[in-house]
Amino acid sequence: MKSKRNVLLALSAAASLFFLTACGNQAASGGESAGSGGSGQAREVAIGWSGPQSGGQALYGKNTLNGLQMAIDDINAAGGIKVGSDTVKLKLEALDDKYLPNETATNARRLRSENKATIIFTPHSGGVFALQTFNVQEKFLIAAYTSEPKVTEAKNPLTVRIPPSYDNYPKTFSEETMNRFGKKAALVPGTHQYAKDWSALFKQTWTGLGGEIVAENPVDYNKESDFAPAVTKALAAKPDVLFVGGASQPTALVIKAARDQGFHGGIIVMDQAKVEEMEPILKDPNMLEGFIGVNPASLHPTEGTKKFVERYKEKFGADKVPTSEVAYHYMAMHVFAKAMELAGTTDDAAAIRAKLDEACKQLSDDDLPSLAKGFSEDGALIVIPRATTMKEGKFVQIPLPVKE
């Protein structure tokens, strides 16, 4: 009996030791300092993204992803970031929302609950507005890649607008084009929310300068592939200028349809479309004569931009030119990473946002493209907008007002 009792005591002690060891291991695997204390191993933090990976906006979505992934790869290759006593590596978690706001909301909830993402990027205003209805309650930062001014006017305390507001563009775009071509404008924009908002501001600006809107024929850039009918209707009103815009590929097809139908007037392009992506689709650069839009990111005059363009081509191909979506996402990810270091946390969204201004000032134009100069009171990174137009076959840069 004594022998059996000794065996049972020994088994009981072993089981207790196993239980305590298991509990200890389980505790070490959670919490903000997990994986780094004493082990020398970095813990991993998810960066969320919800945007278009399919449909007519897919190339636009891919550009934003390329910029984010390149930044995360570079940050991790440099050893990650130091948050308190932890070494942290970043991991991009991306979900396709097909450019639909309701899908953006579903994806964000999944990224927050399953991946514990504290920062979620989305590259369209409809998606941002959808997230702003619940991000404060669920305590995550919206990294908003949209120039829609309403995003910051909402005064959401956990939203960060990355690019400059598009209300920087219409007056300069309109004055330049009206002076060269005339006062009659026809609109063939997209039907998505961003295009509707941009179009409304353009119409107000154009008519305020003495111009006339002679036709308005919006078309779904995300679904249509034949834009000739909408263009034909617009040109029937004999406009001097066309206002167009959505993602680069369909925008280029709208311009091509207009030129193929004999239109030789000016073309105002909203900032979503990029000339460096439209050129290869149009093939004939003469089709861009009289165009005005945002300046190519690759021409931003800083050492950091030059280095970035070279490295991007090495990574993705010598014929690839990074657009502003790529450059801004690359820059923004570095700013957020530095803000996490300064805040000493990866999961307190408010604390991270509070350090963005300081983070911008601790980074360098020699290392990053289009580096933000700071963080504005209304919740936007402060960047310098630029425009370009084609005159007599040459691209000419045009200064724009800066709004902080």
203-257 tens-digit pLDDT: 999 999 999 999 999 999 888 889 999 999 999 999 999 999 988 889 999 999 9
List of residues 6+ apart from 210 with CB closer than 8 A: 178, 183
pLDDT by residue (tens digit) across 286-335? Answer: 999 999 999 888 777 788 989 999 999 999 888 888 888 999 999 999 99
Tokens 């200890």 sit on residue? 24
Higher-pLDDT residue of 74, 11: 74
User: How are beta strands 119-122 and 43-51 bridged, if at all?
Assistant: parallel
pLDDT in tens, 360-396: 999 999 999 989 999 999 999 998 888 999 999 999 9
| Distance in angstroms (rounded) separating the CA atoms of residues 276 and 20 | 61
Q: In this model, does residue 260 exceed pLDDT 50?
A: yes
Residue 293 phi/psi, 5° resolution?
-165, -165
Mean local confidence (pLDDT), 126-145: 97
pLDDT at 48 over 50: yes
